[in-house]
A and B are shown apart, each in its own frame.
Chain A
Amino acid sequence: METDRRKLLSEIFCDAVEKFAFMFGEPAEREDLSPVGSGYVDARMTFEGEMTGDIAIMVPDKMCMEIAANILGVNSDDEQAINLAIDSIKEVLNVTCGQVLTAIAGEEALFNLSIPEVSKLDASGWTKMLNKTETIGFLVDDYPVLLYFSLNE
């Protein structure tokens, strides 16, 4: 992935988590993103239009509750935050995807977006995604986060 595109994706993702989830992120080196727990969430969606591809965000499962809590303005152990944890990471992905596509393809480009889907990831799955060239790593409020963006050539 070109340096310019990685920089653009990084800026957009950090802006999205700050504005939508009130969390602060910055790009991180791979050695700072080793698996820290056993459970991760992988949210992904595809897009079709002037470009076709897929985008995904991977986070530790505990972080999803914190995202939900921040969005809703409640404590992370609040029942509403626990219930809406998965929905929250899907929406962070949705917002990031919308912003990325406009930034790359321009404001007139039209895309069909899939509904975000979520699956569980274990530590080996996390490491596999971390090692992909299309993946960018971040620390968001000290949580390791991976953003994957791939275009079908």
Chain B
Amino acid sequence: MALNILVVDDSAVIRAVISKTFQLAEIPVGELFQAANGKEALEILNNNWVDLVFSDINMPVMGGIEMIEKMCEDGLLKTIPVVVVSTEGSTTRIEQLKSKGISAYIRKPFTPELVRKVVDDIIGGQDGD
């Protein structure tokens, strides 16, 4: 099944790299949405069907943490798995994000194999529900 994926990062180069990584990892992508910050992402989420979100934390206008908090306030959006992709390596930050319900945390730089594993774990977990 092809996945509709939203990539949220203020860096266009990272959005391009993540998009390319999906191809390299042979992840079946239906529609690929892109947003430069949390506010843009919420607009896309409210107007489109999205299966999976890959998001940075540190962004202008609205960061990833605020975006995740807003998603949690919405009955439908809170069911969408969020994978945080960040340069930060703080275990305190990762625990903080996990307590907000994120599905996985990937630290930059990352490999296609890691992205594939994370997506497989999330989708496999959902299939098993």
Contact A94 B87, beta carbon cutoff 8 Å = yes
User: Chain B residues in contact with chain A, CB under 8 A?
Assistant: 10-14, 16-17, 20, 58-60, 86-93, 107-109
A138 to B12, CA, bound (A): 27
- 20 example contacts (A-B, Cβ-Cβ < 8 A) are as follows A19-B109, A71-B13, A72-B16, A80-B16, A84-B16, A88-B13, A91-B14, A91-B108, A94-B58, A97-B87, A99-B87, A99-B89, A101-B89, A102-B90, A107-B89, A107-B91, A110-B93, A111-B88, A113-B58, A113-B87
A75-108 CB contacts (< 8 Å) to partner B: 80, 83-84, 87-88, 90-91, 94-95, 97-99, 101-102, 107-108
A103-153 CB contacts (< 8 Å) to partner B: 107-111, 113, 115
Contacting residues, chain B, for A20 (C-beta < 8 A): 108-109
Q: Residue on B with the closest CB to A113?
A: B58
A88 to B15, CA, bound (A): 11
Q: Residue on B with the closest CB to A15?
A: B109
A34 to B108, CA, bound (A): 32
User: Chain A residues in contact with chain B, CB under 8 A?
Assistant: 16, 19-20, 68, 71-73, 80, 83-84, 87-88, 90-91, 94-95, 97-99, 101-102, 107-111, 113, 115
Contact B88 A95, beta carbon cutoff 8 Å = no
